[in-house]
A = this chain, B = another copy of it.
Amino acid sequence: MTHTRTRLERGRNALGPALELVHTGRAPTRAVLTTALGVTRATAGAVASELQTLGLITVDSRPGGATGSHGRPSHRLAIDPGGPVALAAQVHADGFRAALVGLGGQLHATTPACTTVAADPREILGQVVAAGADLLRATGRPCVGAGLAVPSAVAEPEGTALNPLHLAWPAGAPVRDLFNDCLAEAGVDAPGYCGNDVNLAALAEHRHGAGQGAAHLLCVATGHRGVGGALVLDGRLHSGSAGLALEVGHLTVDPAGRPCHCGSRGCLDVETDPLALLEAAGRTPGPEGSLLDQARELLRTEYATDPAVRRAAHAVTDRLGLGLAGLVNILNPDRIILGGLHRWLLEADPERLRGLIETSSLWGRSGTVPLASCTLDYNSLVGAAELAWQPVLDDPLAALPT
C-alpha cells in the first residue's frame, strides 16, 4: 500500500470553501472572500484566479463602481455566465419538469411543465431526462451532473424510492439507477443523484433563499399531496443514517383525527395537506387544477369573507402548529421555513402559528423561532441541481475535467 496525496487530494485547500461562498452569494468581492475564508489576501487572490481559470467565476479587474467605503475598491466576484450547468429534474403527482441550473442556483433554461404522467417510472424518467438533454444540447455548455427530485423518501446509499405512493410507483423502486440509465441513454455523460423533493427544496432555500444563514434550518412543506420535512445542519442536508430522516408526515397531531394510510389516526400528512383544508371548509375538490392550487385559491379569495373557510384554516393551522412544536422540541432549529399549503397558512395568519409554537414548545420564552415562507421559485429543481453541484463545491479541481 502506498500513500499518495491524502492531503485533501491535492489542490488548493481553500478552493472548495471559496467556491461555496461565491455560490451562496456570500462573497461578492475578493475582500470579503479574504475575511470569510480567514486567509491572507495573497491566498484569496490565488484561489479566486484559480476558480476563474476553471471557468467557474469571473473576477472583475476594473469595477469602477462606487464602493461607499474608503480605500481601493475590491474586485467583484461573480458566477461565470458561460460556465457549466447542472441538469435538474423533478417528477411529481401531476407531471414533471426539467431545467438547467448554473452556479448560484440560477435557472438558465426550463422546460414547460408537463402534465402527462406515465405510470411506469422508467418511462417518465426517460421523458424528463430527454427534455433535459434537449436543453443541454441547445446551450452547448458543459454539464457537471444531474439531480432528480422525487416526492418520496430516498434511501441511501441504495438510491431507492421508499414511499412513492403519490406517483403510484412500486415501493423500493431503484430510482437513482433508473435515472442514471436514462441519462446514459440520452447521451448525458454525467453522474445522476436523487433526493426527496422537500429535502432538496430546503437545501435550495438554505443556499439561495429564505434559509440563508440559518445554522439549523427546519423546512416543512406540503407537496401536491402529503407533507414532508427537511433539516439542513451547518449547510448540509441532514437526511439521517439511511436518508430517511425528517419523515414527519406521521407525527400525530390529532388523536381523534381522520385515519391515515399508515394505520394511525390524525397524522400531519392527512390533517394538514391541501385536501384536509378543502374538506374542512366543506368544499369538494374540483377536477381542474391541483389540490394545492385549489386550496391556495380558497385561502386567497375566501379566507377574509367566509367564516367557514377561516375556521377550517384555523383548524388546520392549529394541527400544523402542534406538529411544528413537537419538531421544535426535538430539533431546536433556529429558523423554520414553510412551503406549499403551509406557506399560505402562515401568511394568512402568521401570529396564530407563531403563538402556537411558542406556547407548546416548552422554551417559547428562550427565543422565539423565526418562521418564514419559502421564497425560491422551483426550489426543488434548484435543490436537485445542488446535488449535482456538490462534488464541484467540495473539490473543484477533482470534480472538473481539468
Contact = CB atoms under 8 A, between A and B. Distances in A.
B332 A245 contact: yes
Interface string A365-394: 011000000000000000000000000000
Contacts of A331: 240, 245, 330
Contacts of A3: 38-41
Contacts of A332: 239-247
A362 B242 contact: no
Contact of A247 (B41, B162, B329): B329
Given A6-B38, A329-B250, A330-B327, A367 B245 contact: no
Interface string A50-76: 000000000000000000000000000
Contact of A244 (B238, B243, B256, B363): B363
A248 interface: yes
Q: Is the interface of A mostly helix, strand, loop or mixed?
A: loop
A326 to B, nearest CB: 7
Copies of this subunit: 2
Interface residues of A, number: 46
A246 to B, nearest CB: 6
B240 A333 contact: yes
Q: Which of A40, A264, A326, A332 has the most CB of B within 10 A?
A: A332
A215 interface: yes
A153 interface: yes
A286 interface: no
Given A162-B363, A362-B262, A363-B153, A333 B241 contact: yes
Most buried by B among A38, A40, A240: A240
A32 interface: no
A279 B225 CA distance: 43
Contacts of A360: 263-264
Contacts of A247: 329-330, 332, 362-363
A238 B240 CA distance: 13
A33 interface: no
